[in-house]
Structure formats: structure tokens, C-alpha cells
Structure 1
Amino acid sequence: MPYSRRMSTRYPGCLIVLIDQSASMAQPIAGNPGLSRAAALAQAVDLLLDELVDRCVKDESLPVMPWCDVAVLGYGGHGVRSMLAGDGFVSTAKLDELGAPTGADATGPRLQATRRWITPLADGNTPMAEAVARAHDLAARWIGGHPDSFPPVVLNITDGQANTGDPAAHAARLTALGTRDGGVLLFNLHLSGDTSAMVEFPSAPPQLGDPFATHLFGMSSVIPDPMVETSQFPLRPGARGFVFNGGATSLTRFFMWGTPFAAAGP
């Protein structure tokens, strides 16, 4: 069955997160007017990475295992650049070393990350096409060394339309890649200050009169059956990994479900 490989030292997973850091990300996020979209996004990514590191612990007496390779790319007025060490992937073992403690209480429901990796940033334009192209190059290189692993999962979070070129062609090249366990998955989340027309995981293009919504939907992968079975959401056949007009709550839910690494441990 495709999309069934579990993370391990022999078959590590691969997660690539693309973060919109354009000027509009300084605006408030829906559901929490006192929080900027950039800050909400940074918190959500930190929580995802925190959970991922925790899932890569075989035993509390042992160090974090290198069961997943992670890249986080921010795109904005600075171009496209890594938010972690180096210019490519770091393993979950290295990720654990890079995280700065936040002092958050790790007991009970996880509402806040106990480590911090991402600094909020909002500046300049939205070079999404360049970010997706970089994700393609990273994924292609990673697949070459891990042909039997679960395929790379790419999460793209944005609040505005790409304005340095059309990312659709790069998205098609990206999702044409794959391992023996399945094709690369690209999921897209659109943030806004208004959730009145929020759409989560549709199986058909949303009828919102917004060409950008249709464009992002077309770039988003169909959610594989094994991930549908473990989903927190009632998904229709053909549902895609796409959220439009999401807010603070939608952002956290998207991250916690949007990767098989967060949904289930190795």
C-alpha cells in the first residue's frame, strides 16, 4: 500500500515547510486580532517541530533519533532562505539541538512549543514561485538518497498571491517527484484576517469568486487514503490538502494533521 512507510533510521521522513514572510504577514490573523500572521505562523511551525522532535524519541533515556529530515524556507523581501542551520535539511536529532527553550509547560494539552526555532518576519514581496522551485530541488536531492522512504511532504503557508511569477509550473514539477512509497505531497494553507468564507480540505475548487483560491487548490495534492484514515477531519473522496481563509485555529489544526509525522509516531 502506498504512503505506508513509517519513519525510522533506515527510512527517514522528509518535511519541507514554506513560510510566507512578505509585508502583508504583519497584519492580524483571523481569530486573534492581537496576533500578527507572521507571529501566529512562527508559533505554529515551532509547535509542529516540537511535536516532531518528541515523536523521534525511542526511549526517554535515549537521545532524539534522526528519523526525519526537515527544511524550513522563508520567502519574502529577502528572497528565499533557510530558517534553520545551513541551506538544506537538518535531521530531527540536529533540530533538537538547535531549538531554544521557551520555558513552556510541556504537560497537558500542547498549546505552546517548548522550543523555538522560527523568528517572525514580514517584509517585501511574495516570491512563492521561487520557494516552490527551491522545494523541488531539495526534494529531488533528498529522494535520490532515500528512494524507499515515505515521500517528502511540503507545507506552504501564505496570505497573499505570488507576485514574482506563477508557482503552478514549479508545483507540478515538485509533485511529479516521488519515492517508491508514493508521490511528493504539497499542501497549501491560505491565511487571512477573515474566516467568514473559510474552506478546509475541499474535494472540488471552492466557489468563492477568488481566482487565487482556485489556483492554490489546483496546486494542492489529493490526500492519500492512509492519511484520510488517520485524519481528524471528515474528508470527502478526493479531498485535497488545502485550506482557504484560515485563521489561528485553522493554522494549528493544519499543522498538527498536515503531516503523517505529526499524526503518528514511528
Structure 2
Amino acid sequence: MNHTIRVDRNHPACFILLLDQSYSMSAPMVGAAGLSKAQALADATNRLLMQLVQRCVLDEQGPRHYFDIALIGYSDRITRLLKSGDGFGNPLVSSPQLADSFVRIHEEPDGQSWPVWVEPLADGQTMMCAALDLAYDFAAGWVASHQDSPAPVVINITDGEATDGTLDDLAERVARLVGLSTVDGPLIMFNVAVAARAAEPVLFPNDAAGLADPYTAGLFHTSSVLPTRMLEYVRTEADRHGLPRPGAGARGFVCNADLAGVVRALNVGTL
């Protein structure tokens, strides 16, 4: 089980993003002047979704069904953030459905523009355990009917601790998630800890040494070891940007993430 199946119309990939939308996300985002964490995360997510759609367009017939994706927002409540043609019927939205379901077009003063699927939100507490429970339901249903597809990927982006459970509760839920698998291998779990203040990002470490607190270390330990193709990619990117190369056993974990760190994690997780 080496996570080597290639994505095509007969073997679509599955991505589930969990977005912290609690009140603390209203604080400024490190590395994104003038933006709150909520706004920066929404912008990064919308750009990622646009890129996923673009990857699926190979001809004039429109996007092919290469991906199924779900976005789960969590604060005081758990919200499915993507709509398909039938509203909230199917929790996983296909790439063709995604292409048709944006809510508006955002335009920058410099002329740049992109579709918007997700609006920023920052309110309430951090029901991360409940979000992981819903992610399990979505992923379990998907793997049951896609055993010949690549293993699903879950990416959790947060700036704080869960308010609906302990670290042990989180670990238990992640263990259930990574217990799901296709013939390609087990589900791949990413955790991205958004920076509360300016600090050196920790990108894809292979141990918890130097992490600031037990909670952050707990997120590291619930993150999957990167499959070979992802490890090769992050090493190439590290060389290109003059960053330290992740070692053997590097995990899908980013700590003290500024906007660039969030984008790197999203890019790696959706390879």
C-alpha cells in the first residue's frame, strides 16, 4: 500500500477540508497584511478550489470528474460549506459540480479575479471533534464505493484547541479516520496549525522536538507520515525556496503556519 494510484475518471480522488471558523480566526493573519485569519483562509481555500477545477479541464467539454471534495466549517456548529446542484444532498461535491457552484466572483483592484465558494467566518468556539466525526462519516461512505481510488486526504486547519474534547478525544477520532483505506493505502491526515504570532514556521517535521506545547505535539502525532510522492514534492519545494529539507518520516503537519505555510500544506495535500 504505497499510495501510487493515479487519478483519472475511473479513479477519482477525495479531499475533505476542515476549516476552523471560531472567533479566534478574527485575529490578524501572519504573512497576510490587512487580512484576518478567517479571510486569509477563505482566500487560500477559494484559490485551491479554482486550481482543482482547472486541473480537471483538459478539453472544451468542461471539467472531468477527477475529484470529490467536501469542506466542513466548525465553530459552535458544524457546517457543510459546498453546495452541489441539489443543495446539500451529497456531502461530497464532484469537480464538475464544484465548477458550477461558486457563489460569486471576487475582483482585485489590480484586475485579478477568482471564484468564491467560501466566505470568511469567525465566531463561537472550536468544535473540532464534531468536525472530525462528520469527516469520518463522509470518508467512510466514499471509500465504501471507491476501493480502487487513491486514499482519501483530510486536511484540518486550525488556530487553537478543540473546545469539545481533549487531545485523547482528537486522537481517537483521527485513529478512526486513518483506519479507513482503499487498495492504495490508508487515509492521509494533515494538520495545519495557524500561527498566533510571528514565528518561524515548522514545515513537515519528522519529530515533535521543539514544538511549543503538548497540544501542538498532539496534532503532530495525529498527522500521517507523508507518502513517497508527497515527500519528494516537499523536498523539491524546500530546495526551490531555500528551506530545510524534510527528513525521512516527515508528517503532514505544519506549525506556526503563515499564509504561505497554509498554501504549501494545501498544495501538498491535494497532489
> TM > 0.5 between the two?
yes
> Partner of 1:82 in structure 2?
80
Any conservation in 2 of the 1:73–1:82 contact (CA below 8 Å)? yes
Deviation at 1:209, TM superposition (A): 3.8
Deviations 1:123-145 (A, max 9, x none): 11101011111111111100001
Q: Which amino acid aligns with 1:72?
A: L
> Partner of 2:68 in structure 1?
69
Any conservation in 1 of the 2:192–2:254 contact (CA below 8 Å)? yes
In 2, the alpha carbon distance for the partners of 1:62 and 1:104 equals 29
In 2, the alpha carbon distance for the partners of 1:142 and 1:104 equals 37
- The percent identity for this pair of structures is 40
In 2, the alpha carbon distance for the partners of 1:102 and 1:30 equals 22
Deviation at 1:46, TM superposition (A): 0.5
Closer, same or farther: CA 208–10 of 1 in aligned 2, 3 Å: closer
> Partner of 2:242 in structure 1?
none
Q: Which amino acid aligns with 1:173?
A: R
Consecutive unaligned residues of structure 1, counting only runs of 5 or more, are 261-266
User: What does 1:19-168 align with in structure 2 at a 5 Å threshold?
Assistant: 19-59=19-59, 61-77=60-76, 79-85=77-83, 86=88, 88-99=91-102, 100-103=104-107, 114-165=114-165, 166-168=169-171
Closer, same or farther: CA 113–136 of 1 in aligned 2, 3 Å: farther
Secondary structure of residue in 2 paired with 1:167: helix
Any conservation in 2 of the 1:195–1:246 contact (CA below 8 Å)? no
In 2, the alpha carbon distance for the partners of 1:48 and 1:123 equals 23
Deviations 1:34-85 (A, max 9, x none): 11000000001101111000001121x12111111000000002x1110011
Q: Which amino acid aligns with 1:181?
A: D
Any conservation in 1 of the 2:29–2:36 contact (CA below 8 Å)? yes
> Partner of 1:253 in structure 2?
264
In 2, the alpha carbon distance for the partners of 1:40 and 1:217 equals 23
In 2, the alpha carbon distance for the partners of 1:104 and 1:125 equals 31
Q: Say which of 186, 193, 198 aligns to 1:195.
A: 198
Deviation at 1:22, TM superposition (A): 0.5
In 1, the alpha carbon distance for the partners of 2:269 and 2:10 equals 23
Q: Which amino acid aligns with 2:101?
A: L
Consecutive unaligned residues of structure 2, counting only runs of 5 or more, are 239-244
In 1, the alpha carbon distance for the partners of 2:124 and 2:69 equals 25
In 2, the alpha carbon distance for the partners of 1:143 and 1:37 equals 32
In 2, the alpha carbon distance for the partners of 1:163 and 1:207 equals 24
Any conservation in 1 of the 2:206–2:251 contact (CA below 8 Å)? yes
Note the aligned Cα RMSD (angstroms). Answer: 1.7
Q: Which amino acid aligns with 2:132?
A: V
Secondary structure of residue in 2 paired with 1:230: helix
